[in-house]
A and B are shown apart, each in its own frame.
Chain A
Amino acid sequence: MPVIRTQNRVAELAPGDELAVTCTDPGAAKDIPAWCRINGHELLGIEHGDDELVVTVRVGASEDG
C-alpha cells in the first residue's frame, strides 16, 4: 500500500515538490525507490526508525504517477 499511496499523492503534486512518506511496511524501503526509478522521480533519502521508516521523494517532470 505505501507505494500506491505515494503514487496517488505524487500525482497531485508539481514537478520539484518533495513528499515525505512515513510507513511501517519494511517492503516500502525497496518498493518506493524502485517506483521512483521507473517513473522518473528522485529518491532523496530513507530514514529507518524503530517501527517505521520515512522515505522522501522529489517529484520528477513526468506527466503523472
Chain B
Amino acid sequence: MSKQRKAVALISGGLDSMLATRVVQEQGIHVEGINFFTGFCVEGHTHAIRKHERAKPKRNNALWVAEQLGIRLHIVDIVDEYKDVLLNPRHGYGKNLNPCLDCKVFMVGKAHDWMREHDFDFIITGEVVGQRPMSQRSATMPLVAEESGVGDRLLRPLCAQRLPETLPEREGWIDRDRLHDFSGRSRKPQVALAAELGIEDYAQPAGGCCFLTDASYSAKLADLWQARGNREYDLDDIMLLKVGRHLRPRAHFKLVIAREEGEVKFLQGYRRQFTHLLPTSHPGPLALLDGRADADDLELAARIVARFSQGRDADRVRVEVVPLGGEAQALEVAPLATDAIPSGWYV
C-alpha cells in the first residue's frame, strides 16, 4: 500500500487558497492548513472593533475556509519574527509599506519548517502567475521557492501547468493534468472553478488581507517611526494604528481619538499605558495621547478633543485629562474651531 502523502496549505481565508487546497484534496492528498498572524492582518477582531461593522456578518475567514474544506488549521503567531521582514525587506516595498515578496518568502519558509517538523511532504499555495504585481509574477515565483528553501516541494495547483514540474508531480503523488493553468488578474477562472467544485460561498477579494497594502495605514506607520526617531514597534502600536482618528498637532505627540462607541471600548483597554482625555461636560470621545506633552500641549489636546465632542459649539467644554502615572485633572477649554485644525495634523 502506498504511503498517504500529506501537504500543508497556506490558508489566507480567500478563494485562491481554498481552491488550491480543494484541488489537491481531490487527488487523495491529506491536507492541513497553516495561517500566519502578523498583526497586520485584516481579520478577526479588527472587524469587531467598530460598532457599525458589528452588524455585518463577520468571521475569521481562515477558520471558516478550513471548516468548509474539512481540514485542520494551525495558526502561527509571527508578530515578532515578522519585524525583520517589514523593516529590512531584501526586495523592497510595493506601493505602500507592503514587503509582499519578502513576506511570501518568509511565510513559505515558515511553512517549510512546519512541514519538516510534522513529516509532511509538500506545500500548497493559492498563487497565480501574474495576479499580483510584486510577489506573483513569473519572474518572482521561482525566487519564492528558492529563497524559502522549499525548492520543488512547493506546488501552486492553480497555475502549476505554467510552471516547471514539481516533486509531487514527478513522483506521481499528484496528476499534473488535473492541475490548472490560470494566469493574470482576471478572477473568472477561479469563479468558474469554484462553481465546478460546488463552492458557492467564499470571501470576496477586496483590498487584500494586509493593512500594509493600505496607503492610509502605511502613512500612520511611517509617521509613528518618524516621530520616534526609530522604526521599533510592538503589537499594541500596530493595533492602535487600525483604530480612531490620528492627529499630530506637534512633532512630539499625537492623539488617537475614538470615532464611535466600539472604538471607545477598544481604546479604554489602553488607558493605563497612555495619557488620556475624555470630555465630561458633554458627550465626547475618549482620546489617547502618544508622546510627551507639557501643560500647553495638554490644553491644546483638550481643545482638539473638545472639538470632536458634542460641545463643539459651546463656549467651554470640561475635559478630564489623566496623565500617564499622574493625577486626573479637569481642564475647562474652548473647543478648537474646525478650521483651526490644519489638514496637515491629520495623519
Contact = CB atoms under 8 A, between A and B. Distances in A.
A34 interface: yes
A3 B44 contact: yes
A39 B48 contact: no
Interface stretch (B58-66, B131-139, B141-149): B58-66
A8 B77 CA distance: 10
Interface string B71-108: 11111010000000000000000000000000000000
Given A25-B44, A26-B48, A37-B67, A31 B60 contact: yes
Given A4-B75, A38-B72, A25 B60 contact: no
A65 B72 CA distance: 9
Contact of B75 (A7, A25, A27, A28): A7
The residue among A4, A31, A34, A35 with the most chain B CB atoms within 10 A of its own CB is A31
B252 interface: no
Interface in A8-65: 8, 24-28, 30-31, 34-35, 37-40, 51, 62, 65
Contacts of B70: 38
Interface residues of A, number: 22
B187 interface: no
B59 A65 contact: no
B265 interface: yes
A46 to B, nearest CB: 15
Given A26-B54, A27-B47, A38 B66 contact: yes
Q: How large is the interface on B (under 10, 10 to 19, 20 to 34, 35 or more residues)?
A: 20 to 34
Nearest to A39: B72
A51 B262 CA distance: 11
A38 B73 contact: yes
The residue among A3, A27, A65 with the most chain B CB atoms within 10 A of its own CB is A27
Contacts of B72: 38-40, 62
B269 interface: yes
Nearest to B77: A4
Nearest to B69: A38
B9 to A, nearest CB: 13
A3 B75 contact: yes
Contacts of B231: none
Contacts of A26: 48, 54
A35 B73 CA distance: 8
Given A3-B75, A34-B59, A51 B45 contact: no
Contacts of A51: 265
Contacts of B73: 35, 38-39
Nearest to B48: A27
A35 B77 contact: no
B37 interface: yes
Interface string B205-221: 00000000000000000
A2 B73 CA distance: 15
Given A38-B73, A51-B265, A65-B74, A3 B60 contact: yes
Contact of B67 (A2, A7, A34): A34
11 contacts: A7-B75, A24-B265, A26-B54, A27-B45, A35-B73, A38-B63, A38-B67, A38-B70, A39-B73, A65-B74, A65-B75
Interface of B: 37, 44-45, 47-48, 54, 58-60, 63-64, 66-67, 70-75, 77, 265, 269
